[in-house]
Structure 1
Amino acid sequence: MPARLGSLAGPDGRIVLALDGGYVRDWREKKRNFELIVGRSLPEDGNPSYIGFVHGYDRKPQRRIVDHLKRQGMQANQDLTFITDGGEEVRSLAELISPCSEHVLDWFHITMRVTVLRQYPQGLVHHDREAGTEILDNLGRIKWLLWHGNSFRAREVIDDLNFDVEALDTGYPNMRKFVTVVSEFQFYIASNEASLINYGERYRCGERISSAFAEATVNAVISKRFAKKQQMQWSPRGAHLLLQMRAQALDGTLCDTFETWYPGMANDNTERGNHPHAA
């Protein structure tokens, strides 16, 4: 395989695919939610494209992702970057897609977790000023180390922080929650260590380090069409089919798909001057 990849002509640029998830209420099991996976891919030279499916309903989600990327010109030796929030289910979708792909933990989700963590030592300061101040300083160090790609040292500081927080004996009322959040952050970073990069260097080179544009996709695809505020209920099949239509509508390819299924539509639209590609 490596020899065959080496003989291929170099592809143009890198394709970045950001994947994120959202939840809708199950129509059959009223108290249950199921997950929708949506994403947006951005070729270096080309138009963005959307993808969406119901996790667990689509039996071959990786094949769907590969087909999606091939439509955007992906080659066997294409440089691919997958950006996700680091969740196990979403992260697994990026595995084994291509030997030339990488998975990047979204910087936005790292900073969001650090921001949540900071709220606890800010409260702790009122009960133990020295301990609270020291923890705030350590959180700043952790964020700085992660930004500069020093994941090994960052994990050491996180491990020390977890030990120190568990050993604290103060009258801080949220101490138990604080211990839990620190432990969860420790596990989160350890689970995604292979996906940590030098974010500062990538940012200075103008490369993407955040899946923020995928989160905008979640809002565009799920929030509006699935009417989250109205608590609409869906079957996995119905949600999956609507996601396919919604993704193609955002891409501007839905009409082409219908014309493939019903060739007469192209002739009718051309005669009426309604074809979207007509001059």
Structure 2
Amino acid sequence: MSVFIDGAHIRAVPGYLTRQFEKIMGHVEPDGRAPRHFAVAPNISTSNVDAVRAALRAQGWIPGRDFSVFSDGDSALKGAVISAARQKITHVLDWFHISMRVRHIEQAFEASVSWSQS
């Protein structure tokens, strides 16, 4: 079983609301079954931990059974999954987030090369 989890910061519309908040979403993929998606926003009464635990249990996970978590490495996201499972997890930094970090380095290098050549 695998859990994929990520977060997003939602900005308020300028001049309309002054609040910003973070939304957490993801999905649980068991072997041989369709994934179950979950999302939590601050105005929803379900906590991050409860949403992850409910998605895990809906997919047949039982406490003590190992699973892998794929995320961007954010400690709050890993913490929500650890709290939901109440056990150690196997965490994997997903390739998408690795490539995003490498792309920023590539862009900075390209900008510095083009700046030095002009």
TM range (shorter): 0.7 to 0.9
Query: Is the contact between residue 27 and residue 55 of structure 2 (CA under 8 Å) also seen in structure 1?
Result: no
Query: Is the contact between residue 77 and residue 100 of structure 1 (CA under 8 Å) also seen in structure 2?
Result: no
> Larger radius of gyration, structure 1 or 2?
1
Q: In the alignment, what sits opposite 2:25?
A: 38
Deviation at 1:56, TM superposition (A): 7.6
The separation in 2 between residues aligned to 1:124 and 1:26, in whole angstroms, is 34
**What value does the CA root-mean-square deviation take over the aligned residues?**
2.8
Q: In the alignment, what sits opposite 2:87?
A: 99
Please tell me whether residue 83 in structure 1 is matched to residue 103 in structure 2: no
Task: Calculate percent identity across the aligned residue pairs.
Answer: 25
Q: In the alignment, what sits opposite 2:97?
A: 109
Q: In the alignment, what sits opposite 1:136?
A: none
The separation in 2 between residues aligned to 1:58 and 1:94, in whole angstroms, is 18
Measured against aligned partners, the alpha-carbon deviations of 1:210-235 in whole angstroms (never above 9, x if no partner) come to xxxxxxxxxxxxxxxxxxxxxxxxxx
**TM-score using structure 2 length:** 0.75
Please tell me whether residue 123 in structure 1 is matched to residue 111 in structure 2: yes
The separation in 1 between residues aligned to 2:46 and 2:54, in whole angstroms, is 14
Give the SS at the match of 1:125: helix
| Residues 119 and 24 of structure 1, relative CA distance in 2, 3 Å threshold | closer
Q: In the alignment, what sits opposite 2:60?
A: 73
Deviation at 1:30, TM superposition (A): 0.6
User: How many residues are aligned here?
Assistant: 114
| Residues 30 and 109 of structure 1, relative CA distance in 2, 3 Å threshold | same
User: Structure 1 or 2: larger helix share?
Assistant: 1
Query: Is the contact between residue 21 and residue 36 of structure 1 (CA under 8 Å) also seen in structure 2?
Result: yes
Give the SS at the match of 1:94: helix
**TM-score using structure 1 length:** 0.36
| Residues 26 and 118 of structure 1, relative CA distance in 2, 3 Å threshold | closer
User: Structure 1 or 2: larger strand share?
Assistant: 2
Deviation at 1:49, TM superposition (A): 0.8
Query: Is the contact between residue 39 and residue 51 of structure 1 (CA under 8 Å) also seen in structure 2?
Result: yes
Measured against aligned partners, the alpha-carbon deviations of 1:135-189 in whole angstroms (never above 9, x if no partner) come to xxxxxxxxxxxxxxxxxxxxxxxxxxxxxxxxxxxxx9xxxxxxxxxxxxxxxxx
Q: In the alignment, what sits opposite 1:19?
A: 5
Amino acid at match of 1:121: F
Aligned positions of 1:1-279 closer than 5 A: 15-24=1-10, 30-55=17-42, 58=45, 60-96=47-83, 97-99=85-87, 101-126=89-114, 127=116
Query: Is the contact between residue 37 and residue 55 of structure 1 (CA under 8 Å) also seen in structure 2?
Result: no
Q: In the alignment, what sits opposite 1:261?
A: none
